[in-house]
Chain A
């Protein structure tokens, strides 16, 4: 019996360790490659540790690498993404919170239909939206600008943010809202004083979710931005596709890590809320 247990345990660990290696190996290759010289990459082994650590590739990816005709590195795109992601996340999260609050606590005639139609938005492939969205942006005069990109992300994010908040708020007892109504509070006071202070976990979930979605988006960034408003995903693509005589894997890797750092950072800082919030939202729904 004990022996059996031991082998089962060894098997479990073997599978787990294999999975860890499988997931971490690419990261290892990215990091080691990004601090190697092009010379070392050409002559050396993909998995070998770097002989001399150099940050030249990082500096180049950030400041001087060519993306198409201009050679200003990824920094420009990085700051474009930052300028775009925060308003987009904050606006879509706020709207999701208010929608969820209404759809769970202030139901009106037909509110279930509104909710069902909003949920339909989760299943629409975004490629379908490209043409009508481009037209709308044209009418609104925000095509190819950062506000235009924010607009797209907000519109496409509302379905999921509303779902998150609505399902979380369904778990808040109606009696609490009724008590506040008897206490003389109205729609907004109940929201800000009673409901919102209880919402930290779901705000964090939605924030992380939206931040990751919007930061990592390539499709909308490619279609709805131009030149000086392009996000980092597009910048990275342009950089990697700009052909020079030698393929600079170390610069590409450094650029890819730069592009991924903010989402990793958000997960590390707020990740515990993510798991907690998902669990909380899953109780009822």
Chain B
């Protein structure tokens, strides 16, 4: 490694060390022979932040989580927790707690024993153990479950106990490995809120692995979008939503997904913009600040438009409005999704139900050209 190893504990026993709950992952790779799972991961977060690792299955997010936990070792690179390099520190000495996807509750122990197990192995006195169990049970409202075995609990209750077990340890770093993926939809939303409240109360640094972009958006302070062992983008949820760094991130985050429209960058009347064609209209829509793309005029680009950026046009904003033919509608309650075609590509618009027209009818949609993004079709990167 090129990077010099930091001393094992830079702030031994100081107040500063306790504050350094932050996590830093420096150039971490993981390979099994010729299979490269992680190809150079760099992440750094501040104390108390909520980091989301999100990506499709096989992107390496769970491997990265295991490396942070110490259950697997990195092939190269360093993991820093609380300001010290933990590469050679065993999982139990990293001062972390983890909530597993399957909850991993000890089936032969009751809830109380499940929570106490980690305290016992750390030789916490019995009296203190009881206090911790009481505190955790109260925090998660599960006093009445303490004497039950995991087999006698519902999925949501097991989830709660698994979190309780992690909370009992009062670590400097919490790890969540897809904790909600085994719950039904309603419970998932409830627990999501509860985890967020928990984080706001505890202010402990958390790392959360998920493949669900909604969980990523709602929970995270910082999101690392991963694919094929590479971090595609690392930033705040809003940054990632509004300024996705490439086509993959743009399509992965957001539901319904961002629309991608193939078009030509052209110049008309001194303005740079794109030409759009629908079944009932054809327009040239100029881009604000289009001059920055002057060098690309005549080239193919992909126009990225979020469904909510296609809204019903009112008479006064006809600059960036286009008439479309409705192919299909999907009412969701608060919004109605309008399916149509622009430049031969299927496009979804999210409009107020009051404004929605039926299939076969035409309606005028306004494009918020200040918010759309452009991608290079070859590199798939966003054009600045």
Are B92 and A173 in contact, CB atoms less than 8 angstroms apart?
no
- Assembly CA distance A193 to B107 (angstroms): 11
The reply to whether the CB of B69 lies closer than 8 angstroms to some CB of chain A is yes
Q: Nearest residue in B to A194 (C-beta to C-beta)?
A: B106
When C-beta atoms are compared, the residue in chain B nearest to A189 turns out to be B121
Interface string of A181-222 (1 = CB under 8 A from B): 111110001000110011000000000000000000000000
Interface string of B88-99 (1 = CB under 8 A from A): 001110001110
A179 within 8 A of B: yes
In the bound complex, how far is the Cα of B69 from the Cα of A185, in angstroms?
Answer: 15
Bound-state CA distance A178–B102 (Å) is 12
A182 with B106, Cβ < 8 A, contacts A175-B100, A175-B101, A193-B117 known: no
What are the residues of chain A within 8 A of B77 when measuring CB–CB? none
From A178, A180, A181, A184, give the contact of B106 (CB < 8 A).
A180
Q: Is A21 interfacial (CB 8 A cutoff)? A: no
B121 neighbours in A (Cβ, 8 Å)? 183-185, 189
**Contact present for A173 and B104 (CB under 8 Å):** yes
B residues in contact with A178, CB < 8 Å: 66, 69, 71, 91, 98, 100, 104
Partner of B122, one of A181, A184, A197, A198: A184
Contacts A175-B101, A189-B121, A193-B117: A181 and B91 contacting too (C-beta < 8 A)? yes
Q: In the assembly, what is the distance between CA of A193 and CA of B98, in Å? A: 19
Q: For residue B105, which residues in chain A have a CB less than 8 angstroms away from its CB?
A: 179
A-B contact count (CB 8 A): 56
Give A191 Cβ to nearest chain B Cβ, in Å. 13
Bound Cα distance from A204 to B105, whole angstroms: 24
Q: Check if B108 is an interface residue, CB within 8 A of chain A.
A: yes
Q: Is the CB of A176 within 8 A of B71?
A: no
Cβ B92 vs Cβ A182 within 8 A: yes
State which of A179, A185, A197 has its C-beta within 8 Å of the C-beta of B104: A179
Q: A178-B71, A197-B108, A198-B108 are in contact. Are A184 and B102 (CB under 8 A)?
A: no
A221 to chain B, nearest CB (A): 38
Q: A189-B121, A198-B108 are in contact. Are A179 and B92 (CB under 8 A)?
A: no
User: For residue B123, which residue of chain A has the nearest CB?
Assistant: A184
CA distance A189 to B117 in the complex (A): 11
Given contacts A176-B104, A176-B106, contact A182 B117 (CB under 8 A): no
The docked-state distance in angstroms from the alpha carbon of A68 to that of B217 is: 86
A182 touches B97 (CB 8 A): yes
Q: How far is the CA of A185 from the CA of B100 in the complex (A)?
A: 17
1/0 per residue B61-99: CB within 8 Å of A? 000001001010000000000000000001110001110
Q: Min CB distance, A168 to chain B, in Å? A: 14
CB distance from A201 to the nearest CB of B (A): 12
Q: Known: A180-B117, A183-B92, A193-B117. Is A175-B69 also a contact (CB below 8 A)?
A: no
Residue B290 lies at the interface, judged by CB distance under 8 Å to chain A: no
A residues within 8 A CB of B97? 182
Cβ proximity bits B27-66 to A, threshold 8 Å, 1 near / 0 not: 0000000000000000000000000000000000000001
| 21 CB-based A-B contacts, threshold 8 Å | A175-B104, A176-B104, A178-B69, A178-B71, A178-B91, A178-B104, A181-B71, A181-B90, A181-B91, A181-B92, A182-B71, A182-B91, A183-B117, A184-B118, A184-B122, A185-B117, A185-B121, A193-B106, A194-B108, A198-B107, A198-B108
Which A residues lie at the B interface, using CB under 8 A?
173, 175-176, 178-185, 189, 193-194, 197-198
Q: A178-B98, A181-B90, A194-B106 are in contact. List 20 more A-B contacts (CB 8 A).
A: A173-B104, A176-B104, A176-B106, A178-B69, A178-B100, A178-B104, A179-B105, A179-B106, A179-B165, A180-B106, A181-B71, A181-B91, A182-B91, A182-B92, A183-B118, A183-B121, A183-B165, A184-B118, A184-B122, A185-B117
CB-based closest 8 A-B pairs: A183-B118, A197-B108, A184-B121, A179-B104, A184-B92, A175-B104, A175-B100, A176-B104
